[in-house]
Structure 1
């Protein structure tokens, strides 16, 4: 890499700031970054919780460069996804940093070359998957570096994968405890965007980071607007959302099953969108092709299971949608956090229904996990359902789950707030109705139906009884004779389903799985200890009114101009378009996503400044020394042609 004038060893912050400016082209650290990079550069261990898009990678890349300049050797980055290492390393190369990866995509000669450069001190950061890192051969390479004092730092990315309580547990991460045991004295930094207190504790224990300094940034992503709607016709609702608010923009749609992925992608394509499916059932070549297209092309909608997304650095994802409810808030937060990494306006949209809750509960109940673990999973699901059913600020509730008070978090002003102004409930407060009477009638019916036959029944049958519908099944069991038959006829099915969801969310109602003689299973409703308070009228049940149409939201965008360039004048818009076309050519030549060359925000800043000389490009965010040297003349040429 280019030689950087590094400050004296005692001025670590100065050294880190020099790297930030000269290599990455940024003028100042954000939030806790300055404290983190200083601490780690000086050899301290750290556990870092920082939201997606908050700049986690700089928290180990800057110390890696500073420590390498000081003769400490190579930083090993543990990354769970082989598919993304190429782009991560490519981005560092563009910034002038000597980086490499070791994974199964390399042939023998290429791998040998990386190992030779590693042992001769020519690599600043080396990326490897946890499975490779713990092999005897790789550990042998590290032993040699350690013996020479050339092993600088271990960076463990996506550290929540080490925890059984995390939303993406990977057993191979558990073996990373060998780093502490085998390479004592080499600092370690573990990073994740999503971890509640239980997961954080598990990370610390499993990676033996009890003495590490913990840095917890605010979990708030103020640029993301949260919207959660009742699921009615999910494909119609999804298409309406995309066409009205994000036509021609990149987004991710998450589905629970592979079948739903295929159906949704096909429906979006039929509607004229460019949508690609992604799930574990597709051939590896197809998954890689679709991921590459999503990263490298504009306006692609990726329809995927949770198999897609970890480590995705695409900055201009304008929306993340869920057509099925995730398993927990950690997963929801991690997935929605892939929107708006550039800090510009983005949407997190989700549709959910009673059937989502039933399916998720069934998956938990039928899993072979210990009862205590299942109970933990149920608690996490209930927290997400409570978020979905909430009538108050979504953001306040979301942050509270992670132990943060909105407005009083690490980057807040210390003043707690009860509304964010950028979620559906704040922008369009829902009408609320008192569902206590309906809840008592539902619970009474569940009790009396069970008392009459000793059996438990599904939601549909209970609703039929309460609403007074004499179906064949109602007559079969004689439930038209129950005292609660027809007592809730004044309520719509949608209202009563909302009540059931709320009762499930608060634990006032439970689910019981029944297995038939033919081996089929289905979920039935049963009372819990929490039912007593509702039945007695001591616990009120307030619910949001079901809306017939989507809430009014921001004005529909009719322009296809990227959000980053929306405020540019006419001449600057032309320069921006030309710069994007030039960037696309460079990206194709380098086989990298366009944003690795320059972010849209950097191009917009260039277009607005209309530079006439290389000096005019100095100080533009994202324009480091290497990029100025490599691309400065071409950028000026493009701007003068506009």
Structure 2
């Protein structure tokens, strides 16, 4: 019995079997039904619309938010023998006309379009004159006005069902809470779409969160000790921070590049191209970078500032280890991060409901940082999923100690209370710690705070320890950053039972977490020693071919495919057909070269 979906998977993409919900999603769309798909980065979302587009008559229209990545997506499909093209503002008029002609002639399997281009009268009229197999709305969370990557133009995409009611639509994203899923379905008119929610777990990623203490030095230690020569992404909160960090890494010998919205479009495109096409590049960026990046061998994602939400954090860390190999998600944060983000929310021009939502999202992120339980448990619980301890995060590998912080909390809260109640004053964290530690600074003496009854009551705890107490009180919503934007601290209603001794508080004790290496060399060690020369030779061959074709190396073959070749050492084309990731087109294009590489290394080993 014919199985078009499986035949396409095997012949075009070179994989033996579907994973997870892929088959069910594909069958839903092939039959003409709508689908809302939540699948983690690296889970194979693209196959869920690419295969239906190849099976159904007409052209699959893919709405993708970043035009800078369309070229690589189209290049990857072209290597597989798929007839793919894109329409965006980077093309010459003659190129645009040729793509339009090919679409109208039925010569395209997939056409990538940015949402801004799609909703123009010219593009809509073009689509109306051709035959459409499906609409795929990638990065569908961009439609959520409460989300971390909101794109206003996505709100217009509900028009598609009005103009093409019989064309199936599939919306895909790697991150969305139940609330965001509901918003996607509502705003894209996918009320009757079947929803497919895969596990959010990425077990190959090791999650680690540390306290900031000279964060540039900490970042450099992570790269030097665990990820030297690896591709990675470093996220920063501001453009200035990006520039400063990238320059520092370059001075330290790291191949680092900056990326933020303040750079020219040309520089951004150039840096992104280098990151995708070269090995061992570290991109230092704001959250403006990364959506849709399909580079599979990013070995680490580091945040040197606190992300604004768990959804954003999950989306960004998900760009590590798309190939399934070990990867690191590393975050360093401090008390100042919390104060700064609260101030940004307070100063925002957004409506009150939006600011309130942002505040709740930040509280959840802070809770993840300060948890004493499994990081992955807390992360997945945010998306409504539960797991046992993962044994691949810092709190599982080195369980943190807890201590009774009730008395310490009472001392700190009393200081805040007395300053406000007795003197009508509010101060930030640094000044409060100076009072508790009994430091007669110029500012303490200026305000006469050495006369307070709480002056010096916290001398037994050092500055770092008090910052930890402050962060955990903020995470528990016992303390709050004021709403005036000055970064001072005030009490919440939850402080009352603590001050009265009616509630015990157990705190996380800060420890130095032993590092767990996830270097990309692990991928090499998974190859038996006798197969490593062939593996390296295959990688060198791939690099040369990719350079000749002007595409990233992973578009030719990923490491997993080369590793399987190195281990199994196929002797003929029939053997190569059994290697995962080698479809008909690639077998024809590269089969002889691969066999020659195997033979050459075998011959040299005999000599």
Normalising by structure 1, what TM-score? 0.92
DSSP-derived class of the 1:523 partner: coil
**1:5-44 maps to which residues of 2 (within 5 A)?**
14-44=3-33
For residues 430 and 232 of structure 1, what CA distance do their matches in structure 2 show? 18
Whether the aligned pair in 2 keeps the contact of 1:254 and 1:306 (CA below 8 Å) is: yes
169, 175, 190: which one aligns with 1:209: 190
619, 622, 625: which one aligns with 2:578: 619
CA displacement at 1:556 relative to structure 2: 7.7
CA displacement at 1:270 relative to structure 2: 1.5
For residues 497 and 134 of structure 2, what CA distance do their matches in structure 1 show? 55
148, 160, 163: which one aligns with 1:182: 163
For residues 246 and 522 of structure 2, what CA distance do their matches in structure 1 show? 25
| Match of residue 592 from structure 1 | 551
Give CA-to-partner distance per residue, 1:239-293, whole Å, 9 cap, x none. 1111111111111111111111111111111211111111111122211111111
Whether the aligned pair in 1 keeps the contact of 2:295 and 2:554 (CA below 8 Å) is: yes
CA displacement at 1:555 relative to structure 2: 5.1
**1:208-247 maps to which residues of 2 (within 5 A)?**
208-247=189-228
CA displacement at 1:498 relative to structure 2: 0.9
Q: Does 1:124 align with 2:109?
A: yes
Give CA-to-partner distance per residue, 1:146-185, whole Å, 9 cap, x none. xxxx211000000000001111001011111111121111
Q: Does 1:60 align with 2:30?
A: no
CA displacement at 1:611 relative to structure 2: 1.6
CA displacement at 1:565 relative to structure 2: 3.1
Q: Does 1:296 align with 2:277?
A: yes
**1:385-400 maps to which residues of 2 (within 5 A)?**
385-400=366-381
| Match of residue 426 from structure 2 | 456
**1:147-296 maps to which residues of 2 (within 5 A)?**
150-296=131-277
For residues 624 and 314 of structure 1, what CA distance do their matches in structure 2 show? 20
Give CA-to-partner distance per residue, 1:481-537, whole Å, 9 cap, x none. 2222222221111111111111111211111154xxxxxx62110111222222223
| Match of residue 414 from structure 1 | none
CA displacement at 1:540 relative to structure 2: 2.5
Give CA-to-partner distance per residue, 1:84-113, whole Å, 9 cap, x none. 000001111111111110011111111111
| Match of residue 637 from structure 1 | 596
| Match of residue 135 from structure 1 | 120
Specify whether residues 244 and 447 from structure 1 end up closer, same or farther in structure 2 by C-alpha distance, changes over 3 A only: same
For residues 492 and 314 of structure 1, what CA distance do their matches in structure 2 show? 44
Provide structure 2 residue ranges, at least 5 long, that are not aligned to the other structure.
Answer: 602-607
Whether the aligned pair in 2 keeps the contact of 1:244 and 1:556 (CA below 8 Å) is: no
| Match of residue 412 from structure 1 | none
For residues 221 and 208 of structure 2, what CA distance do their matches in structure 1 show? 14
CA displacement at 1:564 relative to structure 2: 3.2
For residues 355 and 558 of structure 2, what CA distance do their matches in structure 1 show? 43
DSSP-derived class of the 2:580 partner: coil
For residues 270 and 113 of structure 2, what CA distance do their matches in structure 1 show? 22
Q: Does 1:320 align with 2:301?
A: yes
For residues 356 and 540 of structure 1, what CA distance do their matches in structure 2 show? 26
Provide structure 1 residue ranges, at least 5 long, that are not aligned to the other structure.
Answer: 1-6, 9-13, 407-416, 515-520
Give CA-to-partner distance per residue, 1:316-346, whole Å, 9 cap, x none. 1111101111110011101100110000111
Whether the aligned pair in 2 keeps the contact of 1:165 and 1:198 (CA below 8 Å) is: no
DSSP-derived class of the 1:588 partner: helix
Whether the aligned pair in 1 keeps the contact of 2:143 and 2:184 (CA below 8 Å) is: yes
For residues 637 and 504 of structure 1, what CA distance do their matches in structure 2 show? 62
For residues 25 and 565 of structure 1, what CA distance do their matches in structure 2 show? 23
Whether the aligned pair in 1 keeps the contact of 2:132 and 2:167 (CA below 8 Å) is: yes
Q: Does 1:426 align with 2:390?
A: no
| Match of residue 449 from structure 2 | 479
**1:363-442 maps to which residues of 2 (within 5 A)?**
363-406=344-387, 417=388, 419-442=389-412
Whether the aligned pair in 1 keeps the contact of 2:327 and 2:518 (CA below 8 Å) is: no
**1:62-141 maps to which residues of 2 (within 5 A)?**
62-67=51-56, 72-141=57-126
**1:481-496 maps to which residues of 2 (within 5 A)?**
481-496=451-466
Give CA-to-partner distance per residue, 1:613-639, whole Å, 9 cap, x none. 111101211001110011101111111
551, 554, 577: which one aligns with 2:516: 554
| Match of residue 51 from structure 1 | 40
For residues 328 and 502 of structure 2, what CA distance do their matches in structure 1 show? 38
For residues 562 and 136 of structure 1, what CA distance do their matches in structure 2 show? 51
- RMSD of aligned alpha carbons: 1.4
DSSP-derived class of the 1:105 partner: coil
Specify whether residues 539 and 180 from structure 1 end up closer, same or farther in structure 2 by C-alpha distance, changes over 3 A only: farther
DSSP-derived class of the 1:489 partner: coil
Whether the aligned pair in 1 keeps the contact of 2:481 and 2:487 (CA below 8 Å) is: yes
Give CA-to-partner distance per residue, 1:370-416, whole Å, 9 cap, x none. 1111111000001010100111100000000000011xxxxxxxxxx
DSSP-derived class of the 1:138 partner: helix
Normalising by structure 2, what TM-score? 0.97
CA displacement at 1:310 relative to structure 2: 0.7
For residues 544 and 206 of structure 1, what CA distance do their matches in structure 2 show? 41
491, 494, 497: which one aligns with 1:527: 491
| Match of residue 497 from structure 1 | 467
For residues 324 and 528 of structure 2, what CA distance do their matches in structure 1 show? 21
| Match of residue 410 from structure 1 | none
For residues 537 and 201 of structure 1, what CA distance do their matches in structure 2 show? 42
For residues 272 and 538 of structure 1, what CA distance do their matches in structure 2 show? 54
| Match of residue 569 from structure 1 | 528
DSSP-derived class of the 1:488 partner: coil
- Report the number of matched residues: 601
Specify whether residues 562 and 636 from structure 1 end up closer, same or farther in structure 2 by C-alpha distance, changes over 3 A only: farther
For residues 81 and 562 of structure 1, what CA distance do their matches in structure 2 show? 31
| Match of residue 542 from structure 2 | 583
For residues 516 and 149 of structure 2, what CA distance do their matches in structure 1 show? 34
| Match of residue 605 from structure 2 | none
DSSP-derived class of the 2:482 partner: strand
DSSP-derived class of the 2:46 partner: helix
